[in-house]
Structure 1
Amino acid sequence: MINLLVADDDSHIRALLKHFMTVEGYRVIEAKDGLEAVLKLKEGRIDLAILDVMMPGIDGFALCEFIRQNYDIPIILLTAREQLSDKEQGYLRGTDDYMTKPFEAEELLFRIKALFRRYSLVSSDIINLNRIVINRKNHEISDGDSMLLLPLKEFELLAQLAQYPGRLFSREDLIRLVWGVGYDGDDRTVDVHIKRLRQRFVDYQEDFVIHTVRGIGYKLEVPVR
């Protein structure tokens, strides 16, 4: 059974989501605040986290960042705040999706299923982007007919984006994940490498597209075929 973590200090929302998601076949694990959510994460397997932003103690943004650093699971943030800056902060902290309250439980269900579809594109070593197959273990990329050769950092950058389709990465995230925390060069090197990847895969836009989110960073999307 798929386990959903619902962390929200509003007991009515927790009860609503538990009822609705249980009917849909999910197992809901509740947490009334961020600290309890951390304990639930450590106690057993969680497959997806639904987090309220405005929680006492550890808020949703901090909890989102903690999960992203320690677990490879989809995250949805819930908030009553609609400011663009709040959404930006959520995506920078690592959320996969963002919903404002009040919301329809059925729409949340749609988004949960969409995230599971995205994450199912990825295995431990093999990432499938329609015709493109990325083998992280062997550092190989194939289009089904031939091998595509990339310099190491371009390969690692593409693999990082492809491992989490739809997730927004800031330049700082990509520098840390691809070049390492000790890198002290210009963060615009990310832009240069993204430009080269787009040029190399200009004929594969039906398989995947790397989008620029102005002022924040990049995300890779896989078109539905």
Structure 2
Amino acid sequence: MRLLIVEDEPKAGDYLRKGLMESGFVTDLARTGPDGLNLAIEQNYDLILLDVMLPGIDGWEVLRQLREKKETPVLFLTSRDEVSDRVKGLELGADDYLIKPFAFMELLARVRTLLRRSPLREADTMSVGELEIDVLKRRVIRQGERIELTAKEFALLHLLVRRKGEVLSRSLIASQVWDMNFDSDTNVVDVAMRRLRAKVDDRFDKKLVHTVRGMGYVFEERD
């Protein structure tokens, strides 16, 4: 699932982004109101985490303009704890309101709850052939055997399964899983793919991860 954080405080934004990515989410970060609004409108997100006090335009205005175009779920993150502020956010179309400071585990629980409510949310479980993924529990099973993956390996597999049948370029994989621009001198994607294959493919007869020469990788069941 893909999330957007709109937070101008550098440490808070970086902390949230790191924690959510380690929890298996593809996460973008904007540090101003205009940048956040532009990303929220131009890209498709499953959930937006939105601060109220932002440079450029505040979170209230970001939400107001967003609601003219999209119904993406929004979780407000703010130190403003007045009842009138919470009511204002909810009336503008926010789906939840979390007051700073908060524990990351509470944030994660709220995020997962909102994603479960969303009619457009991704399925909790996914499968390709004999491979099954429990997205919420971050559990991978093939032929009844549980496969242990690192956070990055799970994020990589999750991306491949979500886009099964599509040829994914190395640059797209690098941007989605590592949030980095792909450098042709860097073999991080190929190394990670070899490690993933060793866990999900090598011991099984039917292979699911396939290299498309000169283009990238595709995840699919073949006869």
| TM-score under structure 2 length normalisation | 0.52
Give me the whole-angstrom Cα distance separating, in 2, the residues matched to 1:108 and 1:100: 10
Which letter maps to 1:102? P
- Give runs of aligned pairs for residues 1-225 of structure 1, distance below 5 A: 2-120=1-119
Q: After TM superposition, give the deviation of residue 53 of structure 1 in Å.
A: 0.4
Which letter maps to 1:65? R
Kept in 1, the 8 Å contact 2:41–2:69? The answer is no
CA offset digits 1:130-158 (Å, max 9, x no partner): xxxxxxxxxxxxxxxxxxxxxxxxxxxxx
Structure 2 gap segments, 5+ residues each:
122-223
Which residue of structure 1 lines up, in the alignment, with residue 205 of structure 2?
none
Q: How many residues align?
A: 122
Give me the whole-angstrom Cα distance separating, in 1, the residues matched to 2:93 and 2:12: 23
Where do 4+ consecutive residues of structure 1 move more than 6 Å?
A: none
Kept in 2, the 8 Å contact 1:22–1:28? The answer is yes
Which letter maps to 1:79? T
- Of all paired residues, the percent bearing the same amino acid is 35
Q: Helix, strand or coil: the match of 1:6?
A: strand
| TM-score under structure 1 length normalisation | 0.51
Q: After TM superposition, give the deviation of residue 68 of structure 1 in Å.
A: 2.0
Which letter maps to 1:90? G
Give me the whole-angstrom Cα distance separating, in 2, the residues matched to 1:42 and 1:96: 17
Q: Helix, strand or coil: the match of 1:29?
A: strand
CA offset digits 1:40-96 (Å, max 9, x no partner): 124422111000001122111111122222112110001111110111111111100
Kept in 2, the 8 Å contact 1:8–1:31? The answer is yes
Give me the whole-angstrom Cα distance separating, in 1, the residues matched to 2:104 and 2:65: 26
Which letter maps to 1:63? V
Q: After TM superposition, give the deviation of residue 33 of structure 1 in Å.
A: 0.9
Q: Helix, strand or coil: the match of 1:70?
A: coil
Q: Helix, strand or coil: the match of 2:71?
A: coil
